[in-house]
Structure 1
């Protein structure tokens, strides 16, 4: 486990799962880059469990007929892995434009 409770991405004082996947400014950028319909106010309201459930039930097609729920899951996973790599891998560096990697993963997956 990390010894520092602050967010490794934005250095916010206290990190929790909700902050990591929805509240961190770096995570918000990843969500907004991947989902054009996301607005900072509407997307990040409500409790985390309901938000996650809604994201996984969205069957709208995005990016060459990929289901939105699949893209949502890949973005969520990417943010989690990104955070873990920043904490546990000293040699990790973040891609400047992760949207290209993410859309390729969704299309292939």
Structure 2
């Protein structure tokens, strides 16, 4: 089963969802701003992505600039920051089995479908 962590207000996320839908495979949508992943879930997602927490943070968001920019954080602290501020999580994230990609650009999603 494919899972897409989706923000309907984001154009890239909507494009990613269209690619998943077009694949014809079963999938589930997680609207992560409402259904926020737990710290353990987010750590699992990061492991599947092969990314460090800082790589998944949207550093251009006002929340980041106003509250966190220029400060040092451990990986665990960064995961906590993303769970407490899910708007900072890069999107969309598509998971298929043990593989995951960030759909920026959306064509990345084709690699795991």
What is the TM-score when the length of structure 1 is the normalising length? 0.24
What is the TM-score when the length of structure 2 is the normalising length? 0.24
Q: Greater helix share, 1 or 2? A: 1
Q: Of the two structures, which has the highest relative contact order with CA contacts closer than 8 Å and spacing of 6 or more?
A: 2
Q: Greater strand share, 1 or 2? A: 2
